[in-house]
Amino acid sequence: MIVEDGEKNILVDLSNCNYCDSSGMSALLLGNRLCIAVNGKLVLYGLSSRIKEMMDLVGFDSFLKIADTKEKAEEFLL
């Protein structure tokens, strides 16, 4: 796993993703927890409007870091 290999910050580009089911959402939550456990950050960017709506609906936007672009996502890591 990336976190076990010493990485603590992870940027996830979802610009080519049009659908995310509960398994995908669980994977993102797990990744976020693993990053937090090593004082890191998981940042999502490039979400389609459909996925952004779903994240908002289930409340993920309140604890996941979400940016519109890679550049803005990288600002979360500063």
- Rounded mean pLDDT, 10-31: 95
Residue 21 confidence (pLDDT) above 70: yes
Q: What is the pLDDT of residue 7?
A: 85
What whole-number distance in Å separates Cα of residue 14 and Cα of residue 65?
A: 13
pTM recorded for the entire structure = 0.90
What whole-number distance in Å separates Cα of residue 32 and Cα of residue 61?
A: 12
Q: What is the pLDDT of residue 18?
A: 92
